[in-house]
Structure formats: structure tokens, C-alpha cells
Structure 1
Amino acid sequence: MRRKAPTPLVLFPSGKHQNLDSEYNWSSVASDHQERKTSVFSVIRRAAKKVAGVFAFVFSGPRKSTSEECRSEPGDSLSVDRESSFSSSTDYLSDSYVVRAAKRNFSGPYRFSGSRSKYSGKSSSSKTWHFGPVIFSFEELQKATENFSPANQIGEGGFGTVYKGRLHDGTLVAIKRARKNNYGRSWLLEFKNEIYTLSKIEHMNLVRLYGFLEHEDERVIVVEYVGNGNLREHLDGSKGKRLEMAERLEIAIDVAHAITYLHTYTDTPIIHRDIKATNILITEKLRAKVADFGFARLVSEDEGATHISTQVKGSAGYVDPDYLRTFQLTEKSDIYSFGVLVVELVSGRRPIESKRPRKERLTVKWAMQGLRDDEVVLVMDPVLRRSQASISVAEKMMRLARQCLASARSDRPSMKECVEMLWAIRREFGEVFR
């Protein structure tokens, strides 16, 4: 089915990627020298056979799981993880499939680190992450982080510890090192899923994948470094000056652009499934980049499919209630989460605040009541400067949030429509905020 071309209002990369290199199996890099002796045509024939094998694996049919699990992340609200039937084999990615898929879906000359065995821990100095994700060696990542020094630690979450690192060419990166001896089946799938999904996307408002490491008991993902914290930190004021209304509007637009790209302009639509303030990274220029694709899912290519039946994953307060009730995942589940995020941007509050009075503990419910009572000014973050323009912007953003939070999925707008509504607000009040 042909993807729709973007309108002039929203400009995105095409999402199209070319396979400009031959296929490599994860464990076959050691035989790289022998591979060079083969002819170009034989390499192409073998690559075609492997591609056919990958497709046979991907479309071999659904699998099922019946386990039940709840996961909470340090410093974050409870994440729901209940197993149901699976309609896509992307939840069960093999090692070789992840690597080949990552390699296949990045445009530009792709290179893995040459002449390296999976188990040797050594790599050549010819690695070129500028043209796509690579497999790093543990020694390289040790050097980049000064042996994972606590001084370079910049975060910690359900995945493990995040370090700031510097590659040998000076590129700053965020290195996400998983906790050892904590590799349950579900967690390993999230690790592979994040690599696979990040390898398929490229957009200015999405965090870029540089590479990864899966060796013995080490699991590491290397991504673009965004050095100004996450949105939640900015709303809490822990990053200095609080965000003004115009800056919050721009962040909402950036996030909407990113999700629109995932839903509409990738080869296969992607549902993020974990849109929340801690997954929105902020640049020094206060632009937003969406991160953390461990829960992401690809939408079925079947034109007759209306949803994906899958495990419920996400963070409490952000999860679409309809998805939680039916286990049926659609793009509108991301729309609901985005609506919660917009309320968060306007109010400054977390989705669930247990220390508030009972009527204010569920931020979305409290904020929507304020909108109904024409008291948006009371919903606004107390640190925001009140003016006719800022109050009007807050009200219009809250009305958009109300549409995104509609109980019936069919009543929610598409993310592209959200972008258009946000741009209309920006055009109306842009001059006032300058």
C-alpha cells in the first residue's frame, strides 16, 4: 500500500532506506577475509537467499505467551506488562535477524567493524558509525566512558545505567549499559526490539542509534547524546529556568512531528507505546527528541488488520484505557499518551500525584474538569507567566488534549491532525511570544 506524501505543513524524511551492502550473519564476521574472495554475483545470490529466510522467519505465524509481569522503574511510575496473544513475530527477534535488519534498514554505506569475531571483543579502527549502526567492542565502550566511571553516569532506569561517552573521533554518545544477571525473556526482547526499531528510523526529533554490543553477559546500546535532560526534569525545575508557554508549545510540536513520522512516514508504521515526559529528551536549544523504543511495535502490513493483539506495556497514567481493557494496540494508543503529555506540559504536574488532595491525584481527570469549568488558568503550571496570550495557548492545548483523551478511539485525531492543530496555535500566537 503506497504511503501518502507529506503535506507542505509537515516536512519529514521519507523514511525510505536502501540496502547498499550485502547481508552478514552475526557469527560470520570472523570469516570476512574469506568472503572478500567470492565474486560480487555470488555474494548477491547468498544475500538474496538470506533475505528470503528472514522474511520466512518474520511471517512464519504468531506465537503466544501466558506469563504475567508488572515492572516498576526507579524514579518512575508503575509499568504494566501483561501477556496476551501476539500477532507479530517482531517480539521474538533473533540475534542474527536484529543485526541484519539494522544493517539493511539504514541508508548510506553501511559498515560493521571489520575482521572481528563475535567472541573476540576486538574491533578494527575503521568503524564508521556515521553511516549506520555498528557492533562495538567492550574495550571501545570502556575507553569511551573511562571504564564506566561513576563520574560519567547521567541516568538510571529500568534498562540499567546510562553513561556519557566520547567515541574515538570525538562524538558524544549516551551508552545504556544493562544490569547484569537481570536478563529475563521479556527484557531481552525489549533490548533487541529497541535496536531493531531504532535501525529503521531517522528523524531530527528522534534519538539516533549509533550501535550496540551483545557479548557474553554485556548488553549495551549506544545512542545520540542529548545533554539537557528530559522533559520531566525541566517541568520539575531541576534543570534551572522553568519552561515558558511558548517553549512548551514548541516541545509539543516536536514530539507530534516525531510520532507523526513513526505512524505515517516509515516503511512500516511504528507504535511507540511509551510516550511520556521522561522519554522526551531536551537539547540545549530546547528542542525535543523522543527516546526509548524498547516497547515499540510495528503495525501489521495486512490492510484488513485494525489492531495488534499484544501484551499491554507502558507507564501508569499514560496507558490508553481502551488498550488496557482489550489488549488491542493501535496508533490511537500513542495519541492517548500524547494527550496526557500535553496536559503535563500545561499543568507541570505528573500524571499521578498521590500526595495531592483526592480530587487532584489523577492529573488528567482534574485538568479536564478545570477545562469544563472554564478555569484553565487554574490548571496552568503556577510558574507560568499569566497573560492573555499564554492563557489562550494553554486553553487551546487543553482542548487538543481532550480530543486525544477521548474514550472512543475513533473520536481521537490522528497525530498528523494534532501537528496541524498545534501549528495553527503557533501561527496565531507566534508573534506575541517573540
Structure 2
Amino acid sequence: MSTANSSLFLFFFFFSIFSCIKSDDLQILLKLKTSLQESNTDVFSSWVSSGNMSNFMGITCNSDGFVKEIELSNQKLTGTLPLDSICQLQSLDKLSFGFNSLHGSVSEELNNCTKLQYLDLGNNFFSGAFPSISYLSELRFLYLNNTGVSGVFPWKSLENMTYLVSLSLGDNSFHPAPFPNEVVKLNKLNWLYLANCSMEGGIPSGVGNLTELINLELSDNNISGEIPAEIGNLKKLWQLELYNNLLTGKLPVGFRNLSSLENFDASTNKLEGDLSEVGFLSNLVTLQLCENQLSGEVPAELGKFQKLVNLSLYTNQLTGPLPQELGSWAKFDFIDVSENLLTGPIPPTMCKRGTMRGLFMLQNKFTGEIPASYANCLTIVRFRVSNNSLTGIVPAGIWGLPKVNIIDIAMNQFEGPITKDIENAKALGQLFAGNNRLSGELPEEITQATSFVQIELYNNQLSGKIPASIGELKQLSSLKLQNNRLSGPIPVSLGSCSSLSDLNMAGNSLTGPIPSTLGSLPTLNSLNLSDNALSDEIPRSLASLKLVILDLSKNRLTGQIPESLSIEAYNGSFDGNPGLCSQTIGSFKRCSRDSRMSKEVFTLILFLALGLMILLVSLPICFYLKKREKDHDRSLKEESWDVKSFRELMFSEDEILDSIKQENLIGKGGSGNVYRAALSSGKDFAVKHIWNTDTTTGRKKIKSTTPILGKRSEKSKEYDAEVLTLSSIRHVNVVKLYCSMTSEDSSLLVYEYMPNGSLWDRLHSSNKMELDWETRHEIAVGASKGLEYLHHGYERPIIHRDVKSSNILLDEFMKPRIADFGLAKIVQANNGGKDSTQVIAGTLGYIAPEYGYTCKVSEKSDVYSFGVVLMELVTGKRPIEPEFGENKDIVNWISSKINSRKSVMSIVDSRIPEVFKEDAIKVLRTAILCTARQPNLRPTIRSVVQMLEEADPCKLVRIAINKDDSTKKMEAKENEKTNLDP
């Protein structure tokens, strides 16, 4: 064969080999396409067998035409990764599938991708343990954060990855392990993310070897001990995140060497000492050291930091003044120095650049006036300076800030009026100004701030009339005006505030009758009108309310106390009204039979006079109502229903629709009416019915998920939340959802029926029954296990957000079920298990303190609410009782009663037998731990379950019973012998 022919042969030989390899790459990509499903239909549209791979979306080929990179992150892909075939791509050096919904395990075939320099599988839903990847020694970038993998991470695999620049393994449920020594040897690292991955033990001094680091994140772990001094070697560090650990000691000497540091967060630890080292970090943009035990003064140097925009130092023991130039250089955004011992005036120029959104300085010892400059801070959203020693007149512009949703100036010594500027505060939802010296009249313009949820102006010197148009505040939930100098009548329009739950006007000079319209407030649970000059009879409409607190004492009321209000729960509610009479309350004079007769005669005469008219009108009305009821039933059946079943159904659609009628109504709540459906099968179900249309206007209407804001929306948030949450839950202590039914105008949820109602009913209502301690304990354990499943047993933790005794239902055997998920929130992994919201959701008396303060909720917020439920079980008291005192709840009351054993024992419900009181005290201890003011001091619900099981009252009882049974058997045998003897 000639030389030319040989060359030609070799050319075709190698060309055919390359063609085969390229063909193999193409087949591998087409196989990958078949393994994945896409929501975005454009992703794989270019992936066709006849196409050029370099034109495939997400594919990059090298100069020889072989696949070099697969970049398909954030493409809404589902399915499993065929790593066995992917790793046959011999030129592949980048594999990126982050931010998708891929599942299944990550196979060991990943080791065959030996040329990989970039690997991103983060933010997916993989499962199982992550395999050893020792052969991937060429890796520069490794992103496995929030993959869903668990178990023991193969840290040894990292030893060979000496080129690693970025390592991100956080937000995974790995088995607890100390800080890996393999990591501190990776001296080329500039990005290290190990947050929320179950690390424990101390930070090794070797971390100082990672001198190329610009980012170090170790937050949300169980890291303990002191911050090593060697951390000062990381002079390129731009961000240091250490929050929510168990770190102790002081900021180490040499910390000041982190001269490039811009973001530093070591909040929620146990750090102590002063902030002197921080005073040298002049490039700081954000500084967050809240919830520690830091002391000393805030360094004056912070006032000269020209980049600082966020400062959070709350809940420490800091003293002295704040630097007066603080925040005047950059576009300052946020300050929170609450709950310290700080003194001096408020720095005047933090909103100098017009960008400030949050000012939190409550619970300190600040003095002086509110600087006038803040009246022009149009960007501010939250303004909180309560519980200080501030004085002077509140600048008029503060009342009318256009974006502010919280103004909190309570517990100071402010004077002067609430000005008409408040009409401009269109976003203002919460006004806390109690315990000051405010004077003047409430301006009529206050009703133009239509976003109001809470108004608390108690213990001031306000005078004049309450604005008659106050009923225009449709979202108002709490109105507290007690202990002022208000006069005139109670506005009738208050009956239009359909979200109102707490109304207190005690200690004023109000006159006239109690408006009967108050009886139409569906969510009112606390009404205090005591110590006024109110007259006339008590409206019988109040009987329709389900009040926890009712106080009408010390007025000038006359006539008979309605029998429906003459119950033990309202003892003392009517004292100080000499004109009242009662047939049932012994402390009041009995109502005159003659006067009652004269009224009856008058009423009879009136009826006779109008009898003919009533007779003529009643028949058409009856026919109309009957027709309306039939039309309503027919309209339900005529609608087109979309039925989604989540369990095996034992009923038909018509059976459920037939149950939606007045005689089957068993409950009303913020999320809709509930009906009992007794079906032909003999089984009962509960049906929640939510109307999507307002019958008076014809417009779409859905009640909000929160009883406080009551916003209207096009879609039922409660309905969506309950379906999303309950349809995927399978637990014996969580109420079962059988199906959902939706139409254009209605939404129905069909649950299992709970014949024994709620725990609230059994403890507090007129239907209350004697609950023995064993039953109470079983309810506590069962309910805690239901919450444990929500927090720990689900793919993403579920925060219930409205845990209370009325949401713990009881079956025929008194076994508890967690119910009503209209406020539930599934926690996303990328927010660290925390949920931030501008809405205060929940129920008075159960809301965790951090919710009202920061509007942040977590699983620990549910733990707090459950602690209140445990207190109800132990004491038999409601969360809010008149005996607790003004602005006090059961948590405050119990904390005031635990100074001696005798007072502690007096807390326990008198209906609990003496033999079980020690067990009840054990549960009470758990309840006190659950209601710790700081969330990080509360146990997890899993720990609560363990504590409650250890307090099982039946352990010793069972031993005693078994012992007693054995004794009785022995005695019986002895008697038997005696009886048989001759």
C-alpha cells in the first residue's frame, strides 16, 4: 500500500472513531432527555437526533465537537439523573442541575465523571446518602447545598480535591459531626457554605489556614466553644455568618484584623464581653449580634462607618449612648437595639439619606424627644421606641408617615395630641401608644387610615368623643381606649368592624346605651366597658357573642341581666350597677314580677295590634324563605364541582351537597361554616363550606387566612393552605381530609367528624365536661405528636401558626387531632426555617411574643402556642381571664405564681385529684419551657413529646394496680382455702 493510501486510510479510521464518539455523546444526551420531564417546553425543543449538539440548549461543546458542559440549572426539571450514562461523556467538565426538582438517589457512578471541575446538584429533592466522590480530584466548584441528601457525608472524599475554590454543602440533614479537618486543608477555598448541616463541636483553629476565604457561613448548627483567634488571619473575608449556634466567650483579640469584612452576623449565640474589636471594622455594611450576652458601650467609631446600613444588637446588655452620627453617611436601612440598657438621645440623622425602613429601640432607657427629622422619613415602615423614658410632643409628621405599618411609642412620657396628619398613614396597621400623657381629642381623620388592625391608646389623657365613623375601620381587630377621659356615646358604627376581637373602653366617662350592634361582631372575644356612665338595658344581642372576657361593671345600667349572660364565667361582670336585676344571680335584686307582667301585657297588646299585619306578611315570607332555601340547595347541585379525593371515598357528591343546610350547622370560624354530614352509610363527616361570592354585591369574596386583616382576594387562601397541607399528611393525630370540592362560587373540604368537639369545648365552654388527668395527659401527648409530625416528619417543616385548644379536636375515644390549617405555612429551606410576614396571624393569648415584635415565625412559635395549651390543661383556665389583670395572660399569671411550692400547687386545676398533682406539675414545667420569651430557649416539639411521655401518670398507677391485683388474688386463694376447710 502506498504512503498516500496509508495516510488516507488513517484519516478515515480516526474520523470514523471521532464520529462514533460524537454519536455516543448524542445518544447519551437523548437518553438524558428521556429521563427528565420539563415544565418549560423550550428546554429540550432543540434536542433532536438530527441536530447539532452545540446548538442544544444548555450544552457547550469543545473545539473538537464533544460535550464539555451541561448547564441546565433552574429549568423546572423533574425526574432522575442517569449518571451512569452522563459520566460516559469523556470531555465533560461541568455538570449543573441546581434549582430543579430532581429526585432519587445520587449514584456512585458520579465517580466516573473524573474530569469534572464544576458540579452543582443543589436545591433539588434527592434522597439517601451522598456517595464518596474521591475520584473527582479536578473539582473547583462543588455545590450540594439543599439537595435533600442525608446520612453521613463522605468528608474523606474532599482530601484529594486540592483545587477546590467553592464548597457549598449546607441545608442538608447530615448526621451530626464535628467541623471536618479535611476542609481546613483546602487552602485555595474562597467560598465555604456549611450552614444548617448538623455540625457540632468547636471551630478548629485550622480555619485560620483558609486565608483565601471571602465567604464563611456556619450558621444554624450546634457549634459550641469560642471563636478561635486564628480567624483574624482571614483578611480577605467579606462575609462571616455564625448565627444560631452555641458559641460562647468574647470576640477574640485580633478580630479587628478582618479589615475587608462587610457582613457579620453572630446573632443567637451566647457571646459575651464588649464590642471593642468591632470598632475597627470600618467596612461593615451589616452588623448583627442580637440575642447574645454582650455588654459595655456601643463603640463610638460605629458613628463614622461610612458603609453601615443595617445594625442589629437587640437582646443584649449594652449600656451607654448610641453614637449620634450613626447612619448619617450611607443609605441607612435598619436599626434594632431593643432590649438593652442603652441611654441618651435617639441619633437624629439615621434617615438623612431618606432610605430608612425600620427603627427599633424599644425597652431601653433612652431619654429626650423624638428628633423632628423622622417626621420627614417617608420610607419608614416600622417605628418602635416603646418602654423608654422619652418625653415631649410626638412630631406631627410621625402620625402621617405614608408607608409606616407600626407606630409603637407606648410606655414613655409623651404629651400632646394625635394630629390630623394620621389621615395620610394609609399603611398603618398597628398603633401602640398606651401609658403616655397624650391629650386632646381623637381626630376624625383617624378613620381614613383604613389599614388599622390594632389601636392601643390606653392610660393617656385623651378626651372628647370617639369618632362616630370609627366603623369604617373594617380590618380593626383590637381597640383599647381604657383609662382616658373620653365622653359621649359608644359609636353605633363599631358594629361594622367585623374583625374586632378585643374591645376595651373601661375607665372613661362614656354615656348612653350600649349599642346593640356590638352583638353582631362575629369574632369578638373580649368586651370591657366597665367604669363608665353607660345607661339603659344590656342589649340581648350580646348573648350571641362567645366572649372570654365580659366586664360591664361600675356603670348605670338598668333592667334585667339577660339569662344567657347570667353564667359563672361572667361572675363580677355586672357589679356596680344598682339598677340591674336578675332572676338567677343571687347578688342582685330579683326582677319585679309586676314590672315584668306590665311589660308582657304591653308586648301582648302590641302583638295584638300588629297581629293582622304579621299574619298577612308572614305567609309570603315563609314561602319566600322556603323557595330561597330550595333555590340555594338547587344552586349548589347545579354548580359544576371539581372533586379531588385524597382517601377512599364512602359517599357521593350529592350526599355532601345535601348536608349544607342550616339544621346541620355545627360551627362557624374565620375560615367558613362547618356542617355535619350524616350519610346513609352510617358514618358522619364534617364539611367546611367557604363561599367565594358576596351575595350582597355579587363580587368575589374570600375571607383572609388571618382573623385580623380580613383582606379580600380572588382566591381562598385558607382553602389553598388547608388543601396543600392536609392532603399530603398521614398521621393519627392530624385530622383527616377526605376530599376537596371546588366550584366557581364555593369551596368545600370534607373531614372526618370529631364527635367530642374541641379541647376548648371540654375545658371552658358551657359544654365542658370533667376531664380526668389521665385523659388530659393523653390529649397533651397525642397533640404534641401531631405537631412533631408537622415539624419533623414532613418533607418541609409545616408551621401551623394557630395552635390553640379550639383547634385540637377529640374523637369518640377522646384521642386528639390537630385541625384548622388555614394559617399553615410550609417552610422553604432557603429561609433557614423562618418565615417572615407583615401580618400578625393567630389568636389572642396564644401568639408568641416574637410574632408581634418582629413578625417572624418559626416552629418555635408553634411550641409557644402549644405551651399555652398545656397550661390550659393543667390549670383549667382560659388563656385570658379577668383575674390575670390588665394586659396579662396565662403565661404572665403562671410566672407570677411560681415563687413557692404552695403557690405552684394552687395553680393546678382543683378538679385534678391530689394523687396526680405532681404529674400535672411536671407538665406545667414543660409548658413553662415552651413559653420562654426567646425562641432559642424553647425546646423543639420533639423534646416536648419526650418530656410529656416521661410525665405519664399511668406508670406508677399501673404498677400499683398490678401489685394490688396480685395481692387480691393471693387473698382470694387464702379465702378459698378457708371456705373449703371442714
TM-score (norm: length of structure 2): 0.32
CA displacement at 1:224 relative to structure 2: 1.2
2:948 pairs with 409, 422, 429, which one? 422
Change (3 A) 1:216 1:400: same
Matched, 1:366 2:883: no
Write the distance in 2 (CA, Å) between the matches of 1:289 and 1:54.
Answer: 37
Matched residue type, 1:190: E
2:640 pairs with 121, 132, 141, which one? 121
Matched, 1:153 2:665: yes
CA contact (8 A) 1:371 1:398 kept: no
Question: Equivalences for 1:15-414 in 2 at 5 Å?
Answer: 48-50=37-39, 68=451, 69=475, 70=477, 71=499, 74=522, 77=525, 121=640, 130-131=647-648, 139-143=654-658, 145=659, 148-167=660-679, 169-179=681-691, 180-181=693-694, 182-183=701-702, 184-185=712-713, 188-236=716-764, 238-239=766-767, 241-302=769-830, 305-310=832-837, 311-353=839-881, 355-356=882-883, 358=885, 362-374=889-901, 375-385=903-913, 387=914, 389-414=915-940
CA displacement, residues 100-149 of structure 1 (integer Å, 9 cap, x when unaligned): xxxxxxxxxxxxxxxxxxx962689xx96634899x85x44222x1xx23
Write the distance in 2 (CA, Å) between the matches of 1:120 and 1:278.
Answer: 33
CA displacement at 1:157 relative to structure 2: 1.4
Provide structure 2 residue ranges, at least 5 long, that are not aligned to the other structure.
1-33, 41-74, 79-98, 102-122, 124-404, 406-426, 430-450, 452-474, 478-498, 502-521, 527-637, 695-700, 703-711, 962-982
CA displacement at 1:221 relative to structure 2: 1.4
Write the distance in 1 (CA, Å) between the matches of 2:887 and 2:808.
Answer: 24
Write the distance in 2 (CA, Å) between the matches of 1:75 and 1:429.
Answer: 44
Identity of aligned residues (%): 30
CA displacement at 1:428 relative to structure 2: 4.7
CA displacement at 1:231 relative to structure 2: 0.4
Change (3 A) 1:320 1:133: farther
1:96 equivalent in structure 2: none
Write the distance in 1 (CA, Å) between the matches of 2:714 and 2:852.
Answer: 18
Write the distance in 1 (CA, Å) between the matches of 2:921 and 2:820.
Answer: 30
Change (3 A) 1:360 1:328: closer
From the CA coordinates, give the structure whose radius of gyration is larger.
2
Write the distance in 2 (CA, Å) between the matches of 1:212 and 1:54.
Answer: 28
CA displacement at 1:201 relative to structure 2: 0.8
Write the distance in 1 (CA, Å) between the matches of 2:642 and 2:802.
Answer: 34
CA displacement at 1:57 relative to structure 2: 11
Write the distance in 2 (CA, Å) between the matches of 1:367 and 1:235.
Answer: 18
CA contact (8 A) 2:848 2:864 kept: yes
CA contact (8 A) 1:360 1:366 kept: no
CA displacement, residues 229-285 of structure 1 (integer Å, 9 cap, x when unaligned): 100110026446311122111111011100000000111111111000110101121
Matched residue type, 1:142: L
CA displacement at 1:357 relative to structure 2: 5.7
Write the distance in 1 (CA, Å) between the matches of 2:774 and 2:927.
Answer: 17
**Which structure shows the bigger proportion of residues in strand conformation?**
2
CA contact (8 A) 2:898 2:904 kept: yes
Change (3 A) 1:141 1:132: closer
CA contact (8 A) 2:641 2:743 kept: no
Matched residue type, 2:836: S
Change (3 A) 1:158 1:348: same
Write the distance in 2 (CA, Å) between the matches of 1:186 and 1:377.
Answer: 52
Write the distance in 1 (CA, Å) between the matches of 2:649 and 2:728.
Answer: 10
Write the distance in 2 (CA, Å) between the matches of 1:163 and 1:433.
Answer: 45
Change (3 A) 1:280 1:54: farther
Write the distance in 2 (CA, Å) between the matches of 1:133 and 1:48.
Answer: 35
Matched residue type, 1:149: K
CA displacement, residues 399-433 of structure 1 (integer Å, 9 cap, x when unaligned): 11111111111111010100000100106545379
Write the distance in 2 (CA, Å) between the matches of 1:225 and 1:49.
Answer: 40
Matched residue type, 2:947: M
CA contact (8 A) 1:340 1:405 kept: yes
Change (3 A) 1:266 1:133: farther
Matched residue type, 2:719: F
CA displacement, residues 52-72 of structure 1 (integer Å, 9 cap, x when unaligned): 76989999xxxxx97855445
SS at match of 1:219: strand
Write the distance in 2 (CA, Å) between the matches of 1:313 and 1:237.
Answer: 24
Write the distance in 2 (CA, Å) between the matches of 1:287 and 1:430.
Answer: 20
Change (3 A) 1:306 1:206: closer
2:578 equivalent in structure 1: none
Matched residue type, 1:286: M
Matched residue type, 1:381: D
CA displacement, residues 160-179 of structure 1 (integer Å, 9 cap, x when unaligned): 21101145655421001125
Change (3 A) 1:305 1:123: closer
**Which structure shows the bigger proportion of residues in helix conformation?**
1
Q: Let me know the Cα RMSD of the aligned residues.
A: 3.6
CA displacement at 1:343 relative to structure 2: 0.6
Change (3 A) 1:284 1:383: same
Change (3 A) 1:218 1:123: closer
Write the distance in 2 (CA, Å) between the matches of 1:325 and 1:392.
Answer: 35
TM-score (norm: length of structure 1): 0.68
CA contact (8 A) 2:671 2:822 kept: no
Provide structure 1 residue ranges, at least 5 long, that are not aligned to the other structure.
1-44, 60-64, 79-118
Matched residue type, 1:233: D
- Greater RCO (Cα-Cα under 8 Å, separation 6 or more): 1
SS at match of 2:647: helix
1:82 equivalent in structure 2: none
